[in-house]
């Protein structure tokens, strides 16, 4: 093999907490930063900013909000007694509610026990619970996990059809902090329709997790839902897994929420440590800055070598990209910051895109995630003296070396085992790394103006669709081109969008919109069927 970093260099780049069962190896991260990279930033200043955040400073200046996900696993850090008490009360309420469901003290309207859990949410309200289910679920869980996390009618139907006759024993948890998230509302409406078609009462099987006084909160109170859990405005969606958003599904499925919170709390303690040289989050943030040039010049590929961690890359994609992908810095300057994240799992991806990672463009670095305890039938040999787990670890170490030989940087996160405490620690590690990295590059990690812009634009499209249908209804049966329809719908400058809306409308038979293909691109004509 090509030479690796010498042993002394490795030891200086290796951090481990034996109690947590987690180690971080940065010895393969010392590749040359991209051309034009920013100078090394001040880690100590970033740690100062993080300390101010934890003490209750306004960390999201655009919205004037505190950022308190660190308090969720250690209420003693909360800025006031009322907040600390509310955190403890919510955790106790979650555990009590889950116990009532699991023991049968709380039953479905028809009696018996709840056996399925349907979570309705999107983004951080779904990705964290989905990750936790993938990592922790067993065949013996008291409730089986299902999720509606999009506004896809086919996805709604497929999930609800899988529940089928079990609707009567399915507990529904609807998660939306604002209470107005359209994708979540649409999923809830689809579920309500399924419950109604089955002759069942949706409110008697529904739980709301939302901001106090929100549209969803008012609806749940008015209809008498089973329970309402409050979600404070200082908890962001992508950092909500240690809040009721993540804890409630975990507790209902029988997972150890106390161990999960303890793992996060212990990682928080480690990632507060100074000097920065012994702090894994600070070191990881600095490695990201070095490898990606402080401006996202390289992409991070997340490769966990364990099937149960397959969803980790999707979870980190939101946490990192929504937090770091910003046009403006805190001083209002245009910087177009970000760090692109993608990945799947090893060793699957050695047959997918490792070829390019090693021999293609020098625009990536890899975060390997390694689990030492194999689980399953770990002792079963596939060759004399060799197990499937040996091969899995060998593929990880071999791929890491193959990348290093070509000067491709990597970080390796090693976990002793996969359990609730480890999951909490992983989430806490990446949450703090993101916060520290944001400080290094001077951006607000806790707002998402681009996401809000997308929501506003989607609302405008829905309103445009209504104008298109109204225009077509004025002359039913008459075929018109997209430009004429756009003019009639007061959208002359949006002909392309009008064309795409018309194509979608014409694909739905119930809309009554007919399309006649044109002889050239964009030449289609459309009409609304006569009554």
Tell me the catalytic residues.
322, 351, 455
Gap between the Cα atoms of 241 and 237, Å rounded: 8
Name 38's Cβ contacts closer than 8 Å, sequence gap at least 6.
289, 293, 294, 295, 441
Rg of the chain taking only CA atoms, in angstroms: 26
Backbone angles phi, psi at 236, to 5 degrees: -85, 155
DSSP code of 298? S
Q: Which two tokens stand for residue 339?
A: 């760090």
Instruction: Give the per-residue SS3 of 421-465.
Output: HHHHHHHHHHHHHHHHHHHHHCCCCCCCHHHHHHHHHHHHHHHHH
**Given the structure tokens 């593929």, which residue do they identify?**
395
Q: Return the exposure string of 240-255: e unless at least 16 CB atoms fall within 10 Å of the residue's CB, then b.
A: bbbbbbbbbbbbbbeb
Say how far residue 68 (Cα) sits from the centre of its chain: 18
Gap between the Cα atoms of 443 and 463, Å rounded: 34
Gap between the Cα atoms of 235 and 67, Å rounded: 6
Find the helix packing angle between 153-163 and 182-197, rounded to 10°.
40
Q: How many CB atoms lie within 10 A of CB 383?
A: 9
Q: Decide: residue 525, CB within 10 A, 0-12 exposed, 13-18 middle, 19+ buried.
A: middle
Q: Which two tokens stand for residue 245?
A: 């958003």
**Given the structure tokens 């962001």, which residue do they identify?**
236
Would strands 480-481 and 525-528 be described as parallel, antiparallel, or unpaired? antiparallel
End-to-end Cα spacing for the chain: 76
**Given the structure tokens 């719908």, which residue do they identify?**
489
Name 138's Cβ contacts closer than 8 Å, sequence gap at least 6.
none
Q: With the CA atoms of 41, 46, 48 and 52 taken in that order, what torsion angle do they form, in degrees rounded to the nearest 10?
A: 150
Question: In Å, how far are 75, 132, 235, 245 from 241, measured between CA atoms?
Answer: 15, 9, 10, 6
Name 193's Cβ contacts closer than 8 Å, sequence gap at least 6.
none
Gap between the Cα atoms of 110 and 423, Å rounded: 36
């Amino acid at each position: 093999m090509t030479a690796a970093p010498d042993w002394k260099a490795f030891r200086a780049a290796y951090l481990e907490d034996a109690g947590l069962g987690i180690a971080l190896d940065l010895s393969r991260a010392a590749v040359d930063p991209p051309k034009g990279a920013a100078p090394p930033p001040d880690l100590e200043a970033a740690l100062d900013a993080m300390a101010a955040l934890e003490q209750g400073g306004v960390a999201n200046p655009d919205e004037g909000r505190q950022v308190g996900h660190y308090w969720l696993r250690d209420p003693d850090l909360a800025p006031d007694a009322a907040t600390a008490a509310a955190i403890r009360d919510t955790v106790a309420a979650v555990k009590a509610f889950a116990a009532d469901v699991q023991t049968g003290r709380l039953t479905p309207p028809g009696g018996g026990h709840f056996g399925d859990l349907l979570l309705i949410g999107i983004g951080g309200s779904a990705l964290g619970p989905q990750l936790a289910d993938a990592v922790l679920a067993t065949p013996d869980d008291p409730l089986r996990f299902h999720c509606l996390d999009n506004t896809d009618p086919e996805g709604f139907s497929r999930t609800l059809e899988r529940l089928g006759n079990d609707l009567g024993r399915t507990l529904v948890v609807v998660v939306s902090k604002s209470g107005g998230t359209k994708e979540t509302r649409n999923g809830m409406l689809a579920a309500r329709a399924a419950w109604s078609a089955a002759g069942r009462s949706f409110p008697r099987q529904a739980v709301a997790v939302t901001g106090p006084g929100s549209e969803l909160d008012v609806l749940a109170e008015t209809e008498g839902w089973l329970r309402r859990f409050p979600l404070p405005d200082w908890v962001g969606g992508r950092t909500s897994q240690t809040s009721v958003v993540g804890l409630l599904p975990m507790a209902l499925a029988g997972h150890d929420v106390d161990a999960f919170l303890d793992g996060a709390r212990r990682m928080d303690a480690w990632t507060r440590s100074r000097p920065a040289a012994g702090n894994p989050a600070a070191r990881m943030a600095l490695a990201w800055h070095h490898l990606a040039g402080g401006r996202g010049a390289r992409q991070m590929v997340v490769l966990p070598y364990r099937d149960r961690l397959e969803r980790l890359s999707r979870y980190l994609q939101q946490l990192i990209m929504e937090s770091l992908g910003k046009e403006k810095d805190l001083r209002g300057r245009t910087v177009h910051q970000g760090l692109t994240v993608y990945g799947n799992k090893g060793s699957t991806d050695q047959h997918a895109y490792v070829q390019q990672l090693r021999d293609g463009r020098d625009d990536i670095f890899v975060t390997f995630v390694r689990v030492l305890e194999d689980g399953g039938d770990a002792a079963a040999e596939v060759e004399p003296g060799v197990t499937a787990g040996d091969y899995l670890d060998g593929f990880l170490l071999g791929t890491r070396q193959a990348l290093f030989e070509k000067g491709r940087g990597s970080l390796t996160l090693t976990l002793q085992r996969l359990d609730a405490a480890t999951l909490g620690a992983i989430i806490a590690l990446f949450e703090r790394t993101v916060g520290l990295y944001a400080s290094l590059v001077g951006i607000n990690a806790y707002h998402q103006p681009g996401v809000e812009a997308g929501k506003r634009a989607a609302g405008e499209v829905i309103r445009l669709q209504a104008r298109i249908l109204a225009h077509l209804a004025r002359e039913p049966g008459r075929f018109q081109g997209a430009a004429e329809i756009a003019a009639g719908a007061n959208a002359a400058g949006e002909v392309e969008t009008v064309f795409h809306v018309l194509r979608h409308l014409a694909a739905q038979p119930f809309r009554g919109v007919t399309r006649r293909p044109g002889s050239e691109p964009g030449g289609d004509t459309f009409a609304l069927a006569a009554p």
